Structures are given as C-alpha cells and as structure tokens.
Structure 1
Amino acid sequence: MKTLKALLFCSTISTAVLAQNCPDNFLGTKTLYPTPHEKYAPVPAGYSPVFINHVGRHGARHLTKEVKIAYAYQLLQKADSAGALTEKGQLLKTMILRLEKVEGVDTKSISDEGRTELQDIARRMYAQNKNVFANTVNLNVGITKEIRTKQSADAFLGGLKDGLKSQPTINQYNDDTNLRFYDTAPAYKAFEEAGPYSPIMEALEKSEHITDVNKALANRIFKADFTAKRSAQQLDKFTSDVFGFTTIVYSLKSEIARAGFNTEELNFKSFFTCDELYHLGQVDVADDFYKKGPGMDLNGIQVRIAVPLLINFIKTTDEFIAGGKYTAQLRFAHAETIIPFSALLGIEAANKSTKDLTRINKDWQAAQVAPLSSNIQWILYKKANSSDYLVKILLNEKEARIAGLKTATYPYYKWGDLKAFYTKKLNDYGVKMDDDMNKYLKEIAQK
C-alpha cells in the first residue's frame, strides 16, 4: 500500500510538471491585450471622423497587494518553520520570494507590458482617425483614484503624441462616479457579496471539483499532517493566491528579466495540472460573468450600475456636436468598468445572459470582452457640409454590433438612432439624462 501511495504521489507531481505546456486559456481577464488585425468597413461616402469617446481598462499590471501580505506567503512561512514543506513546497516558497523581488515597490502599478499595450492602442487610434487630430488637439482625460489608471493615461497619451504635430492641451480629472460606479452603490456591494447567482457558483465549484483541486495542490506543497489541520476555506484561499501568482507573471516579463530571473524561474503553472488550471479558470470567468457581466439578467443591478457612464458618453458626444472644445474624451478605469458597460451598450459579444453554466465561455469570453487594456470607443463621423453624424462602436478595436438596433450601414449607426436607443433604455430603467448620478448609485436596487 505504501508503495502504491508513493507511485500515485510521484504520478501527481509528474503530471503537475507537464502543466508547463498547458494552453493559457485559463487567464480570463488577466489575458494580455491581443493586437488586432482588423480590416475595417469603408467609411460611408462624404463622412470623416471628427470626435472620439473612449474608455479603457488600465494596462497589464503588477499585483494589487504586496506579496508578503498574501495568505499563501504567510502559510508557506508557517509550514517552513514547522518543517512541513515538501520538495515542491520549498520550490514554491523560493518562487514566491523571487516574485516578491520582482514586484519590489511596484504593486498596484502597470507593468512595462501594460505601457506598451496602451501606447500601441493610442498609435492605432491616431493612425485610423488622423482627421480627428489634424488641428488643435484638446483632450479631456478621466482617471480613477487608483495610480494604475493615471499611469495608463500617461502611457496612452505618450503613444498618441507620437503622431501629433504639436503638443495637445490636456485636462486630467478624477471621475470615480462615472468610472468606479461599482464602489459607490451599497445595493451593488450587497449583490456582489451574495447575489442570486450564489447557488449557481456553488454548483459550478462542485462540478469543477475545486475542493479536490485545493487538496491536490496542498498535498504537493505541504506534508500530510500540516494539510490535515487546514480548513477548506484556508485551502481555497491558498489555491486562489497561487493561481493569482500564476496569472500575474504574464504581465511581468520585462520586470522578471530586470530582477535577474527568467520566466521559467517563476513558472507557477508547474504546480498545477492542465485540468486544474482549466477548472480554476472556469470558476474565475464565471465569477466575473455573474458579478460584473450580463450574468443571469441583462437588466440586473450588475449591468445597470454602469448607467452613469452611458449618460456621460451621450452627454460628452452631444457637447462636441454643440461646439464643445474637446477633440477626444479619454477615460482610464478597470475591468469592473468595461464588463458591465459593454453589456449595457448591448454589444453582442458581451451581452448574453444565461443560467446555463455550459454557455459561459461560449457566449461570453472574458479574454475577448475585458483583457488587460480592454477598451470601448465611439468614433463619431460627420458628413461634409451637413449636420449628419454616424457613430461606430469598437470593442477592443473590433467593430461591434449593437443588439436590437438596426442600421443600413453597419457598423456605422446614425447618431440620432443610437442616442434614441440608449435614451429609451435609460427611460425603461426609470433614469433621466439630468438625474443626479451620485443619488442614483446610492438608491439603485435590484428589481
């Protein structure tokens, strides 16, 4: 029996090592921004781009908290002191210490990869819309309280300036109401903690065998007696932290090299099997889908929470048409901004609700909706010598179709039609364009 157990243990370790060659489809919203290779539809005759309304997620980033604060770090230290680490456990401890060195003082900041992502998006924006930036350029730039959004704005502006003939005028301001709406509404916070999706998530964790994944990882890292003393919640938290380390290193290639390591020396994937990474990824995506995306109800609080941003997009577009001074409205925020906003807009790749767990990752793919540096752009086009405007909506620089809104010139929508479509949606929610959005966020409740 002991021999059999030893063989099984060795087999588990061997399989975990093979995880180094697993596909990276478990990354979800931690996926690096994919460079688009789009061939855009021709602009209707007589129209030219005149204004850009944009919101983007921050770029690829460092961890949002120090490594040593993580539960996994602390548990490994405790196990090491007790002599309870396996050989794999010692390797994990070493890797985490390397990651701590890589992170340095840069937690909460974007990485070199993130800066490059944003600079490239801005360069492509300029290249596709040179007419917008042909004359004096005035930019209105919204950020949130998080430093990574200011860093993202700076990186984006750096890329945009590469094409400009003169320095732009930039007004930068904090806008947590329109960009961090999910932080402001008490009813949404309660929904996030325990919404109607909770039974579905519990069922998913069972079908994805997350408890078994947690135990398998712990058994590779800790000796049996130590693992036996940990609660199910503690093992789950440990796995969550290690999985988080696994996903973050993709964003830190330059920083890893600068710290004197190669990526193989921080290959946290090697502690999991391919199946385990897949199971963890499924649960991670579902969590985003139900708490931030279309979830069980496209008109649920998790989508309606983005109403302030939609109103802001409509108002700033109207302000430009009325003779406003800004060439472009640029905003830099978070995945929690992009996911509900794309659903609220009715973008077909981002707006499908379901209670069927098998449909998530088919109808809604986190890596396509909200990868790092994800963005939504409204490109406004004006017909020469007229007051006619068209709008094209882009999700991650791909032309988007709006569910329920017809157009004879897809992907270009008449501005009047688009505005009327969204105004009706707001009215159906009981919201008016001039409502106090801070009050709305405090009073919003799930229907």
Structure 2
Amino acid sequence: MNRSALAAALLACLGTAAAAPSSATLRDTVGGTKLPYAPRQDPATYEPAPAGFVPVQLQLVARHGARGLTGMKGELALLNLCRRARDDRALTPLGARLQADLEALIRANAVLGAGVDGVAKPGYGNLSLIGIDEHRGLARRTVARLPALFDGAGAGGGAIVVEHSGVDRARDSAAAYVKALLQARPALAPQVQEAGANRYTLYFHKLNAKTDSGAGGDAQQGWRAEVFRASLAYQAYLAGPALAARLDVIEADPRLQPAAHAVLGRLFRPAFLARLERGAIRTANTGSVTFTGAGGFDTTLQGDGKAVIANAVDALQALGEVHDIAPGLARELDGRDFGAYLPPQHARLLARLKDAEDFYEKGPGLREQDGVTWRMAAGLVGELLRELDGDEPGVHLRFTHAEIMIPLAAALGLPGKSEPLPQAATYGAAAHRWRSADLAPYSANLQWDVYRHPDGRRIVRMLWNEAETDFKPACDGARIAPASHYYDVASLRVCYAR
C-alpha cells in the first residue's frame, strides 16, 4: 500500500472528532498533492508591466483539477475491516460513522462524473466538480489578467494551442479551461488548435519502449532521446536502493506505531484492535459494488484483492488515503468530513511525512543522484524557452500532472523548490521549506506572460499558482530592474543556455 497515505493516516488520529477544516487548515494538513486549488496572490498586487509593453504571448502548464481516487483499493479494504468489526460487535460509534462515510466515498468515486458535461468516462480517477471549476476559474482569471491578449481578434491573431498528457483527467481539465475561455471570448473559437497528447513533455515520468519508442519515427531523435533516457533512469531510481533507503528512514519514524494505536482505538474495541495489531486480522479490497449514477450510468466494480490490511499500520494507511482525497470531493460527498477521523494537529505531522516522501520521489531529491528526479523535464523547459522568441503571438495551454509540475520547478531552478539534499542528510519539515502541497496542489500552474515593446524587446513574468515567482537566482541579471518580476527574454534565454 502507498507509503505516503500510510504516513498521512498514522499520525493524524490522536485526537477527537474535529469540525470541518478551514481552507487554511487544509493547506497545512492535507498530505502531499491532494490539496484543492486556490490562487496564491491577489492580482491587484501584481507588478504592472512597464510603459509601452503589451502582452503578446501566454504559456501555461497546469496540473489537472481535483479528482477522485484512481482505483478501488485501500478504501474498500478499510470498509471491509469496519464491516468485520461490526460483525464482531467491535465497532465504536465513531467507527460506525466511518463505515457509513466509506460507503458514501466508494459510491461517489464509482459514479464520479456521471451526467457531468466534459467527463468522457465516469468512474474512479475522474475530475470532481471542484476540479472542473478550478480550471474554469483559472481560465476566467487569466482572461481578466491579460485582456489585451484575448480581446478583439484574440491573441493577436495567433493560435491557441491545447495539449495534454493523454490521461482523461488532464484532457478533461483542458476541456473545462477552453470552455470557460470561449465563454469569456467566443470570437477565439476559430483559433483553438487541439494538439492532442504529448507524453514527452507532459507525461515524461512514465515513458516506455512499447508506447514511446517512436517505431521508426522521430520520437527518439534529438531532445526526445535525452528525455526518454532520463525517464528510464528515473523509473530505475524509483525501484532502486537509494530511494528505498530514504523511505525506510521516513517510515521508521518512532511516532507512527503509537499514533496507529491511538487512532484505531477510537474506531475499534480494545480486543479487536489487539488482534489487528498482532496480525491476527486481515482484510483486502475484495468484493464487488454496483451503483447507478446520473443519466442512468450503471457500473459494477470488482476489487482485485491486492490492497491488504494486515495490521494497524495498514489500516491507518488506508484511512490516510481517504482523509486526503475527501476535500477535493466535497460536493460529491455532501459535506462528509473525514477530518473527524484525523484531527488537524496529527494530520499536520502526517502531511510533513508525505512531504518528505514527495521530496525524494518527485522533488529535488538526492544530490548524489545528479538530478535523476527532474532531468526528464528538460524537454519541456526547452520548449518553453524556445517559444519565448516566437515571431507569432499566441497562447500555448498544457495540461498535466503533479509528477510533471514538481520536476519542472526543480529543472527551472526555482528558489525553494529545487535544492537537493545529500545522502547523509534527511528531509525534515522543521529545517526545510519545500512543501509538495504548496508546489503542486490540484490545478497547480506555471504561467509565463510575455510582453513586447514597439522596439521589439520582449520581457516575461512568471506566475506559479498565480503568484509572481522569480526565475533561478543565476538569472537575476536578466531582470529589467532590481527586484522586478519581469525579465528580459533574450538575457533569460542566455542564462538558461549556460
């Protein structure tokens, strides 16, 4: 079962039932990359463009919106555990409440997207209603920020190119964004160009010979060959001893076992918990469920038995998964609060453990590994930089995943988002400001706003999650003025070429 969710479950459970969490609490307690999106800066505080410069280009790279669980796994195993405890008369009132909420969660995921415009195939892994609205809102705010780019003929007559990773939730996020864009500026419709999927820039963490070798085409030429090799090296790292050693240290946190005992003691009677802790109880994601969703959508799902709860730690791992996924499904769950099972003060500890795992699995990682976690982003970075000098104005919209956004930040060398640690050190939240929820929540986005002066000079301003963000410190010389968020394009490209 997933290590990150294990951590998220274990330490969050030492208190009593909590009230529905605020957005500030969610930002601090939802583990890793499951945080619903919110812009990080008021547009009224943005630095204005210098006189004479007009917007001519936008490049967007955005993660998909809030989603459901990707498969029927730990939540069904946990439900089966609750049912077994019920049959043994070992379920507490809070445990009975959890059982009902798990049943509702599984139903919400099984029919997720049914009857919703823009969702091609309902079920697990789809965008939630919050996720769709995240991208609609992002599009509306972008038009409001750059009206001169989108007014009139729109984008100065340039194309609006739309790409995605090929995964449904990224494709559906693109559709939600474009729909909102065209609602705001209907005249832009003829300029929208659907470019389809681009795995080399938007799904580079899972390239493989069968799907991505090129079969005699150009996929293995030039920069694509480099990205392909980097992706294979990354996948080897994920399965290798260096990462395993780091994760072992994180999972050996001495607070985990007592936390498991404390939280499960609120859900199960002592004798049942004792049996679970010594491995005498075992459940898995077995059994089938059948539901009918909106529009007559019928579905039957069968558990594969691979997600196993064999002890108290496993049970808390499954609980952590549902705790983290629930905020993004708030509308489908009709306000059910899984935070009641993982109080904020403990969820905060679990979120920091998940940050540590994400740091090594997706983030800056180990210094001795020479950038293996982010070098595969080089193709996307190169494409972004090349397009800065494009002769034609236009918009390039890309929709992807957290596994792309986090390496992208490291590859760009962004301050606070790209510094690796030596093998001899271990990530700790108290000493490190890197947070996966800050960097890659749902709908996380990088935006490059390009402006041009009549004399031909171009400048660019970067937003990350709609907050003005500096390029790497080595490029400070490309700023148009000290402390400005605008950079001279020509000088910036020279800096990154070095």
CA distance in 2, matches of 1:174, 1:360: 40
Distance 1:341 1:73, change over 3 A: same
1:283 to 353, 356, 362: 353
The structure richer in helix per residue is 1
8 Å contact from structure 2 (residues 405, 440) kept in 1: yes
- CA distance in structure 1 between the partners assigned to 2:428 and 2:464 by the alignment: 24
Q: Does 1:110 align with 2:182?
A: no
Match of 2:202 in 1: 179
Between 1 and 2, higher relative CO (CA 8 Å, sep ≥ 6) is seen in 2
Percentage of pairs with the same residue: 25
Q: Cα gap change, 1:20/1:392 in structure 2, threshold over 3 Å: closer, same or farther?
A: closer
Q: Quick check: 1:418 aligned with 2:495?
A: no
Residue 419 to residue 388, structure 1, CA distance change in 2 (3 Å): same
Aligned length: 401
Unaligned runs of 5+ in 1: 1-11, 258-262, 425-447
Q: 1:337 aligned to 2:391?
A: no
Aligned to 1:380: 450
Matched, 1:26 2:29: yes
TM-score (norm 2): 0.74
Q: SS of 1:379's equivalent?
A: strand
Matched, 1:247 2:251: no
Q: CA-to-partner distance for each residue in 1:27-75, whole Å, 9 max, x for gaps?
A: 1321221233131112122211101111000111122113687432343
Gap regions ≥5 residues in structure 2: 1-11, 113-123, 208-230, 283-308
Q: CA deviation at 1:361?
A: 7.7
What is the one-letter code of the residue matched to 2:480?
A
Could you say if the C-alpha distance between residues 171 and 236 of structure 1 is closer, same or farther in structure 2, counting changes exceeding 3 Å?
farther
Q: Structure 1: how far apart are the matches of 2:310 and 2:488?
A: 52
Say yes or no: does 1:50 pair with 2:56: yes
1:10-409 aligned within 5 A: 15-18=15-18, 23-24=25-26, 25-27=28-30, 28-35=32-39, 36-38=41-43, 39-66=45-72, 70-81=76-87, 84-106=90-112, 107-134=124-151, 135=153, 136=157, 138-168=159-189, 169-172=191-194, 173-184=196-207, 185-194=231-240, 196-207=242-253, 209-222=255-268, 223=272, 224-228=274-278, 229=280, 234-257=311-334, 263=335, 266-297=336-367, 299-318=370-389, 320-321=390-391, 323=392, 327-354=394-421, 355-359=425-429, 362-384=432-454, 386-402=455-471, 403-406=473-476, 407-409=479-481
CA RMSD of aligned residues (A): 2.7
Q: Which amino acid aligns with 1:180?
A: Y
Deviations 1:114-144 (A, max 9, x none): 1221111111111111222232352111112
| 1:202 to partner: Cα distance | 2.9
Cα shift at 1:159: 2.0
The offset of 1:253, in angstroms, is: 2.3
* Alignment check: 8 A CA contact 1:68 1:100 kept: no
Instruction: Quickly say closer, same or farther: Cα 1:299–1:390, change in 2 above 3 A.
Output: farther
Q: Deviations over 1:342-394 (max 9, x none)?
A: 1111221422333453356842122221111110011111111x231111111
Contact kept, 8 Å, 1:153 with 1:332, in 2: the verdict is yes
Question: Which is further off, 179-188 or 130-139?
Answer: 130-139
Task: Give 1:220 deviation, angstroms.
Answer: 3.5
- Counterpart-to-counterpart distance in 1, 2:428 and 2:358: 15
Paired residue secondary structure (1:177): helix
Q: Distance in 1 between matches of 2:249 and 2:134?
A: 37
Shift of 1:275: 4.0
TM-score calculated relative to the size of structure 1: 0.81
Distance 1:133 1:275, change over 3 A: closer
